[in-house]
Chain A
Amino acid sequence: MDAERRFRCNDADVEARMLDGELMMVNLATGVYFSVDGVGAAAWQRLVAGHRPADIAAGFADRWGVARERALAELAPFVAALLERGLLLEAEREAEEAPELAASAYGPPVLHAFTDMEELLAADPPMPGVIADELTGA
């Protein structure tokens, strides 16, 4: 992983919501849904705000006293999984402000993926990339 890259959420296909410190996401194109908690949720919030993995790892090191190299090494597979699952896209952009780090303790970020609603969600949600009411201001 290039620790200097920046990213954004794949908004066209992905819906995400924070609830009680847990991040839940669904990829409408695949019907797969995800949960991320603790450090992973914090990492996601920073990644989609355009923060570079190197900077995120540095922030984790400052916040939890974990070695920066370890934080970056453990962030890399998480970012790779987000990219592979179509949740995150590379982007040329500036970083925006991200929420404070809320998790109480450090642990490697983990993306939990679930496929048991693929069929249930195959037909009814909006087609990927279709966000028409935003165009009309509805």
Chain B
Amino acid sequence: MAAPLVSCVLTTYNSARFVAEALTSVAAQEHPRLEVLVCDDGSTDETAAIVAAHPLAATFSSAPNAGPPVVRNRGWRAARGAYVAFLDADDRWLPGKLRRQVAELEARPGLAWSVTRLRTFWMPELAEEEARLRGQRRAGEVAGYVASTLMVRREVGARFGMFDEGSFTLDIPKWIRAAEEAGLEGSLLDAVLVERRMHAANLTRTHTRACRSGVLDLVAEALRRKRAAGPGA
């Protein structure tokens, strides 16, 4: 294969239940210059075996459990493509995701990053939650400032910095906010190109308190900026 244009960094942690679907959604991109790096966060289940058995030829690496931003950064550093696209193992890309984001970043050299819209789907064990949240704004198609929608220029990592490894949760919104603050322009592509899965082991579910506290950290930073900018900001 010619040198990759796009590196997919697929992060896994005890993802045996879903990783094959994620890999299949990557394969469905049919991108001719794609490398797939499966970066595992110390799984103790069958994740490695499932990745190895999948027809998509992915490079698998594992390290002791350290949390999502550490694993994503490991993949970012290992990537060879000009563009790095992240995917959490429980989510799925929709067809055309890579092609459309690459086209946008190629057409707009000033863009450092791109995200897309996403929609959420629930596993059967959460049918009650799905019914309760149906119709709410966040249960529909929303802007996806999350890892699975994000494509970055690889060189931005060295020039600006990668994800905050101290942010166990919300590392992507925090990175984007910091990038914007530093003048790095990005784009929300107005198309639903990712499906986010709700299941019993979502990080936002197993670490709800940390996630909610992380949101307030973002709020505190936003209010600090408004105060610094003065009245009317």
Contact B145 A119, beta carbon cutoff 8 Å: yes
Query: A119 vs B172: C-alpha distance in the bound complex, in angstroms?
Result: 13
Best-buried of B177, B196, B208 by chain A (most CB within 10 Å): B208
Which range holds the interface residue count of chain A?
35 or more
In chain A, positions 23-45 with a C-beta closer than 8 Å to chain B are 24-26, 28-31, 33, 35
Query: A35 vs B233: C-alpha distance in the bound complex, in angstroms?
Result: 14
Q: Does A102 contact B (CB under 8 A)?
A: no
Query: A128 vs B129: C-alpha distance in the bound complex, in angstroms?
Result: 10
Contact B215 A132, beta carbon cutoff 8 Å: no
Main secondary structure of the interface of B (DSSP, over half): helix
Query: A117 vs B170: C-alpha distance in the bound complex, in angstroms?
Result: 13
Report the minimal beta-carbon distance from A18 to chain B, rounded to whole angstroms.
11
Main secondary structure of the interface of A (DSSP, over half): loop
Q: Does A127 contact B (CB under 8 A)?
A: yes
Query: A117 vs B138: C-alpha distance in the bound complex, in angstroms?
Result: 13
Interface stretch, picked from B22-30, B106-114, B154-162, B218-226, is B218-226
* Binary A-proximity of B116-150 (CB < 8 A = 1, otherwise 0): 00100000000001001100111100111110000
Contact A24 B216, beta carbon cutoff 8 Å: yes
Query: A28 vs B137: C-alpha distance in the bound complex, in angstroms?
Result: 10
- Chain B residues with CB under 8 A of A134: 208-209
Closest to A22 in B: B223
Q: Does B44 contact A (CB under 8 A)?
A: no
Report the minimal beta-carbon distance from A95 to chain B, rounded to whole angstroms.
26
Report the minimal beta-carbon distance from B159 to chain A, rounded to whole angstroms.
22
- Chain A residues with CB under 8 A of B196: 123
Contact B207 A138, beta carbon cutoff 8 Å: yes
Binding site for B on A (CB under 8 A): 15-17, 19, 22, 24-26, 28-31, 33, 35, 114, 116-117, 119-134, 136, 138
A-B interface, 4 closest residue pairs, ranked by CB to CB distance from nearest = A122-B142, A119-B143, A126-B204, A132-B205
21 contacting pairs across A/B (C-beta < 8 A):
A15-B213, A26-B219, A28-B215, A29-B136, A29-B138, A33-B223, A114-B223, A116-B222, A117-B222, A119-B142, A121-B173, A124-B172, A125-B170, A125-B211, A125-B212, A126-B212, A128-B136, A128-B138, A131-B209, A133-B206, A133-B208
With A17-B220, A132-B205, A133-B208 given, name 12 new contacts (CB 8 A). A17-B216, A28-B138, A29-B137, A29-B138, A30-B137, A33-B222, A114-B223, A114-B226, A116-B222, A120-B143, A120-B176, A128-B138
